[in-house]
Structures are given as C-alpha cells and as structure tokens.
Amino acid sequence: MTTSAAPRPADPNCDLQAGLLDVETARARLLADVQPVWEMEHVSLFAAVGRVLANTVLATSDMPPFDRTAVDGYGVGGPGPGPFQVVGYLPAGAGGLPRVGAGEAVRLLTGAAVPEGVWAVAMQEGCRMDPRSGVVSPTLMRGANIRRRGEDFGAGEAVLEAGTRLDPRHLALLAAAGIGTVAVRRRPRVALFSAGDELLEPGMPHAPGAIHDSNRPMLAALLQGLGAEVHDLGLLPDRRPAIAAALEGASRFDSIVASGGVSGSEADHLLGALRDAGGQGSWCAVALKPGKPLVYGGIGTARCLFLPGNPMAALAGGFLFARPLVARLAGAADGGLRSLPARLASGWDRKPGREEFAPAMLRPGPDLVVERISKPGSARLMPLVAADGLVRVGRDAGALRVGDAVEFLPFAGILGG
C-alpha cells in the first residue's frame, strides 16, 4: 500500500480537477487484500438475524417431510365425482393414517399427512355432502392440492451458501430444514471516532465556535446495521500525537472508521498521525459529491477508513466505502447499493466531473418520480430527514431536465445489510 500525503486544498474547479479517482477504483484500493475474520461462533436461530453464515448449510430432512394437504377438504380415492364414503378424519399432526380405497374419502385439514391411496384432495368449498351416500367432489387431476414430500428441498440439499447474511426469510428456511443452530462468522470489530476541536459530545451544553458531533451516532448506527460490533473511541482533538496514540491503541481491531481531518488543511492530521503510529495509508480525491477527500490504509490488524467531516459526505462515504468494507470483513457477499430507475420531477443545474448523491423525496403517481431537495448542502441534516432516499447521478452527466432518468436509492434499502 503506497503512502501519500494529502495535497493542499484543491483547485476551486474541483468537479473537473485532474486525477480524481472514480468511486469503484477508490473502493477497490480500500478493499485490496482485506480478508474476512476467521473466528466462528455457533448461535441459535433466535440469535442469528444479521449474522453471516460461515459454512454452507445442508438440509437434515425433506421439506415437506411427507405428502401434505394444501387445503381443507377431502382426500378422495379416485378422480371423482364419487360419491365417496368418508372413512376417517385427519387434522394436522395426526398419525395412524388409514389407507383410502376406491370409493372412499378421508376428511383432511390443511397441513395433514395424506394417506396412501388418496388420488387428490378436493377443496371443501367444491364438495357436497350427501347424508346417505357420502361426499361428492368435482373431477380432479391426480395429485391436486397435495404438496409432495421433498418438493421444496430434499435431505442433504444445500439450502443456504456460506456468506449469506441471515434475515427472517433465511431463518424460516433453516428452521424448516431441521437446523436449530448455525455456524456464523464473528462480527467485525470496528473502532469509531470523530476528529475536530470544534466538536462536542451530543447533549453537552453549547460553547462558542463549537458544534455537536452528529457523525459518530450516525456512523455507529450504520455500522451496527451492517453487522459490525462498534467500539466508540469518542472525540479526538486536532492534535497529531493524540490521534496517533488512539490509532496505535485501536490497531488490534478489524477496522478503524473516523470522520474529519482528511481535507488537506493544516488542521487535518489523520493521515500523518496514521504514519506516526506505525501504520501506512493514502489520501485520494474521489470523483464524488459530496465526499471527495478520502484516506484509507492500515495499522496492525485494522483496515482504516477516514471520511470527511460534513455529515452528508460522511454518510455517502459510509454507504459507498464502509458498507463493502464491513461486508468483506464479515465474509458476506456485498451486492452493492441497489437502486431503482426514476425520473426527475424538476431540472438540476449541475456540472459533470463527479458522481453525485443528493437527498430526494418521492412524488405521488403511477411512475417513480423523485424531487431533489434543492441546495441540500453536505453539512445540512434536515434534508436527509425529509428525504425518502438518495438520487444518484453519474459523473459524466451535466445539467438535467424534467423527466430525465436517474437512479433512486431508497433509505429503506441502504440503511442496513
């Protein structure tokens, strides 16, 4: 990993500044040689949501484990219409299955095992009961309304692959497959801090020239939502020795994420402090708006990611860089940010040169139309709260008109794993 110092504040025409890295290249450099944590834990399904499977899981039984009825009705001994003499009653979970012969039927409730000899199951709504001769059913195709043994999956079949981040769907599948505990990778341990003399802890009284730190709570929530175990290192002053000492102390973690102190001014010390602490790193200018300056590197076992201090820039960096970093450390497959095609509700006077993210609101209507919140600013938070997600525009796009195509990233899909 090369080591470079941050340049002085960039050319005012920063959108067209020479040497800007595209987001994909910056991400690839950050992730180079990052390996998943190797330790594993065995956890109950009730504690497994959000965890990442360490091994491929094989089913221990067929699903369904026996032929089951899909409806309430009658298992009939022929194609119909009967009448069929009713010879038994079977709710779900009952044993002692009678054999059903020609001209016979058995009353079945949804989920019950289907006895031998049943041609099909007739839905009760389509049947008529004759008190003297039995049940009359419609003519049925063989196997109608029967879930056959193993039709979902068979014993020994791989039902989930290693690297799957478990959500409620996966837990249902594992339970159905006869799995009660799973081997998962240890959660990545991430140290988090903010740098800046102007910062106050949330809840502290205001002081002249100071603002409350909003980045740490925001990034902690994002990292925890991605499955990381976050260790808060608090606020660090703009003092290179203090930052170096904190970085050296955090070198045992899997990752160190910080915000502030990366823009390249005389008060920005994160890259220099990383070198002082015995680590190595690089500064780069990313073709990204907001969030152009970025520092990445490593110290001890920790991969370092240092983001800009403005909240919107820190959030964009969290989505684009912290998300894949935590996924790689956790051994999870990261499918990237999932976006939806949308149309702009109003024009957007922008310059090409940097990929841009901006808060946007959905507009009601049959099509997906988004309204960019005008002049959001990378330090403003109210537009983020008012927004339904982020609109994303490629670096080569110039001024946009009403109805132009954009990508929309709903917050519901990007604020977690």
pLDDT in tens, 281-328: 999 999 999 999 999 999 999 999 999 999 999 999 999 999 999 999
Q: In this predicted model, what pLDDT tens digit does every residue of 177-214 receive, in sequence order?
A: 889 999 999 999 999 999 999 999 999 998 889 999 99
pTM of the full predicted structure? 0.84
Superfamily (CATH) of domain 340-414: MoeA, C-terminal, domain IV (2.40.340.10)
Task: Provide the pLDDT for residue 376.
Answer: 58
Task: Provide the pLDDT for residue 5.
Answer: 45
Q: In this predicted model, what pLDDT tens digit does every residue of 257-281 receive, in sequence order?
A: 999 989 877 768 999 999 999 999 9
Answer whether residue 145 shows pLDDT above 90.
Answer: yes
Answer whether residue 11 shows pLDDT above 60.
Answer: no
Domain ranges of the chain: 14-38+187-330, 52-62+151-185, 68-147, 340-414
Task: Provide the pLDDT for residue 149.
Answer: 93
**DSSP state at residue 164:** P
Task: Provide the pLDDT for residue 207.
Answer: 87
**Cα–Cα dist 339/334, whole Å:** 14
CB 327 within 8 A of CB 27: no
Fold of the domain built from segment(s) 52-62+151-185:
Molybdopterin biosynthesis moea protein, domain 2 (3.90.105)
Helices (runs of H) and strands (runs of E) counted in the chain: 9, 26
Superfamily (CATH) of domain 68-147: Molybdopterin biosynthesis moea protein, domain 3. (2.170.190.11)
Question: What's the mean per-residue pLDDT of the chain?
Answer: 90
Mean pLDDT over residues 114-125, rounded? 92
Mean pLDDT over residues 90-94, rounded? 90
Q: pLDDT-derived band of residue 114, with 50, 70 and 90 as boundaries?
A: very high
Angle value at C-alpha 167, between 163 and 173, nearest 5 degrees: 85
Q: In this predicted model, what pLDDT tens digit does every residue of 150-181 receive, in sequence order?
A: 999 999 899 999 999 999 999 999 998 889 99
Q: Which residues neighbour 31 within 8 Å (Cβ) at sequence distance 6 or greater?
A: 324, 325, 328
- With a pLDDT cut of 70, the percent of the chain lying above it is 93
Q: pLDDT-derived band of residue 384, with 50, 70 and 90 as boundaries?
A: confident
Fold of the domain built from segment(s) 14-38+187-330:
Molybdenum Cofactor Biosythetic Enzyme; Chain A (3.40.980)
The residue among 396, 351, 395, 356 whose CA lies nearest residue 376 is: 356
Task: Provide the pLDDT for residue 1.
Answer: 44
